Amino acid sequence: MADLAFFFFLLAAIAIGWLLGRRSIRKKADCSDKQQALARSYAQGLNYLLSERPDDAIDKFIDSLEVSSATFDTHLALGNLLRKRGEHDQAIRVHQNLLARPSLPRVSQQKAQLELARDYIAAGWLDRAERLLQELVETSSELRNTSLEHLVEVYRDEREWAKAIHAVNLLHGRRFKRLSSEWAPIQAHFCCELAEEAINGKDYLSARKHIDAALGYHRNSVRANLLWGRLEYLLNRPQEAIRVLQRIPRQSPDYIPETLDLLITCYSEVGDEKGLDKYLETLLREHPSNSVLIALTERIHQRQSEAAAAAFMGKQLALRPSLRGLGHFLDLHIDSTQGRARENLSLLKTLIDQLIASRPHYRCSNCGFSGNQLHWLCPSCKHWDSVRSVKGVEGE
Ligand SMILES: [Zn+2]
């Protein structure tokens, strides 16, 4: 269907070009060799189109359709259509062809420049896109904001976080920390990226600065709080880490599983085992998930007995059946069984483990991308915060 629309568009474009060309030819009594060549190109382009050779048809189209104010939009639309179809090289050719015409009004040239930058982004030539967009930010008041938005996209893909933060601030008129609800969480992510780099480089002073900035832009940033908790732990302040991590269920319960390992470590360091049990019980009651259930079952196993843990897990599974819970439940029974029963349970456990391994742990709510790793930025659709843990029997 998309192909049909494309061919129809191309046919229309060439036909318009042909008519414009003919009119121009008629106006001038001296039908020059050049005009005849143009007419031949139209016919050839049409031929290629009809014989399903769209690449050749586009070549002829570029060669023959005169670039003027009247045909500018047709060229622009064809280039955009090619980009959307993933034919980046052809889109670049169409838009470069427009940019190479100094006779076009300045506004038209800038529009072509913006489209060419979009082609470069789509083709992954980020440095070329960056140069074109920077120029537009400085020279075009009309396209400045759109160009800045694309620059943010470029810096994000280049992982140039400080430049991305600067571009977002420019977009909002330098009034820092007064960003729209659309941009504030994104800006906080850029700060978190810098904080992660600083933590990895053991530069904890800078890490704190970036985390503070992230929270300044977006107070309820889960990622910033996770990083803050990690930083406090690295600075040997486990009690403070616990305090920070315990804010996350209120901010977004989806991320509770990401807090558990560090919380358990911190509670253990401060020696507050009862506090941990109490907290896990509260979580299970208010925000039930398999990660919390398994963590709590493990605690019962360690502090009481295998039988008590199995009884607890069995009761919970009846309320909320899940594959991960069942796998854990079998684990608790295998050791206490013998002979054929043990073999059968082990076989069942292997099958469940394989089933769990074959299912993704995370999925993007925007595009459906799935995987076993938490991505703050979806690698497929480039949305922030849309990748969450899978819920239900096969997930959390
Ligand atoms: Zn996605």
Q: Does 176 reside within a domain?
A: no
3-state SS record for the chain: CHHHHHHHHHHHHHHHHHHHHHHHHHHCCCCCHHHHHHHHHHHHHHHHHHCCCHHHHHHHHHHHCCCCCCCHHHHHHHHHHHHHCCCHHHHHHHHHHHHCCCCCCHHHHHHHHHHHHHHHHHHCCHHHHHHHHHHHHHHCCCCHHHHHHHHHHHHHHHCCHHHHHHHHHHHCCCCCCCCCCCCHHHHHHHHHHHHHHHHHCCCHHHHHHHHHHHHHHCCCCHHHHHHHHHHHHHCCCHHHHHHHHCCHHHHCHHHHHHHHHHHHHHHHHHCCHHHHHHHHHHHHHHCCCHHHHHHHHHHHHHHCCHHHHHHHHHHHHHHCCCHHHHHHHHHHHHCCCCHHHHHHHHHHHHHHHHHHHHCCCEEECCCCCEECCCCCECCCCCCECCEEECCCCCCC
Q: Does 62 share its domain with 134?
A: yes
Centroid of ligand 1 to alpha carbon of 369 (angstroms): 5
Centroid of ligand 1 to alpha carbon of 374 (angstroms): 12
Q: Does 374 share its domain with 238?
A: no
Grouped pLDDT means (10 residues each) for the chain, 396 residues: 54 56 49 60 61 68 72 87 90 92 91 97 97 97 96 97 96 72 95 98 98 95 98 98 97 95 97 95 94 94 90 90 85 83 85 87 95 95 94 77
CA distances for 17 relative to 103, 198, 376, angstroms: 18, 57, 47
Q: Does 339 reside within a domain?
A: yes
pLDDT at position 330 is 86
pLDDT tens-place string over residues 230-264 = 999 999 999 999 999 999 999 999 999 999 999 99
| Cβ count near 147 (within 10 Å) | 26
Q: Does 366 share its domain with 354?
A: no
Q: Does 146 share its domain with 69?
A: yes
User: In the chain, how many domains are there?
Assistant: 4
Q: Vertex 62, ends 60 and 87: CA angle to 5°?
A: 95
Q: Does 164 share its domain with 212?
A: no
pLDDT tens-place string over residues 357-394 = 888 899 999 999 999 999 999 999 999 999 999 887 77
pLDDT at position 281 is 95
Centroid of ligand 1 to alpha carbon of 372 (angstroms): 14
Q: Does 249 share its domain with 374?
A: no
Token pair belonging to 337? 């069984």
79: number of CA atoms within 13 Å, CB side?
Answer: 28
Q: Does 118 share its domain with 208?
A: no
CB of 385 closer than 8 Å to CB of 359:
no
Q: Does 30 share its domain with 136?
A: yes
Q: Does 50 share its domain with 160?
A: yes
pTM beyond 0.85: no
Which of these three, 151, 171, 191, is where a domain ends? 171
Q: Does 384 reside within a domain?
A: yes
- Parallel/antiparallel/unpaired status of strands 387-389 and 362-364: antiparallel
pLDDT tens-place string over residues 140-179 = 999 999 999 999 999 999 999 999 999 999 998 755 557 8
Q: Does 128 share its domain with 192?
A: no
Q: Does 109 share its domain with 235?
A: no
Centroid of ligand 1 to alpha carbon of 346 (angstroms): 37
pLDDT at position 359 is 86
Q: Does 286 reside within a domain?
A: no
Centroid of ligand 1 to alpha carbon of 22 (angstroms): 48
Token pair belonging to 217? 């832009």
Centroid of ligand 1 to alpha carbon of 363 (angstroms): 8
Give the domain extent around 385. 362-396
Q: Does 53 reside within a domain?
A: yes
CB of 146 closer than 8 Å to CB of 114:
yes
Q: Does 276 reside within a domain?
A: no
Residue 226: closest CA among 209, 243, 248: 248
pLDDT at position 30 is 47
Q: Does 297 reside within a domain?
A: no
Q: Does 150 share its domain with 191?
A: no
Which of these three, 171, 192, 218, is where a domain ends? 171
Token pair belonging to 45? 């382009």
User: Which residues, by Cβ under 5 Å, contact ligand 1, an ion?
Assistant: 364, 366-367, 369, 378, 380-381
Centroid of ligand 1 to alpha carbon of 221 (angstroms): 19
Beta bridge partners of 363: 370, 388
Check which CATH number belongs to the domain holding 161 and give it: 1.25.40.10
Q: Vertex 228, ends 172 and 272: CA angle to 5°?
A: 155
Centroid of ligand 1 to alpha carbon of 226 (angstroms): 22
Centroid of ligand 1 to alpha carbon of 297 (angstroms): 33
Residues placed in the known binding site for Fe cation? 364, 367, 378, 381
Surface-to-core class of residue 274, CB atoms within 10 Å of its CB (0-12 exposed, 13-18 middle, 19+ buried): exposed
What 133-138 contacts at long range (C-beta under 8 Å, 24+ apart), as own/partner pairs, is 136/110, 137/170
Which of these three, 221, 236, 258, is where a domain ends? 258
pLDDT at position 218 is 94
CB of 206 closer than 8 Å to CB of 226:
no
Q: Does 129 reside within a domain?
A: yes
Token pair belonging to 123? 């083709």
Percent of the chain with pLDDT over 90: 59
Centroid of ligand 1 to alpha carbon of 389 (angstroms): 13
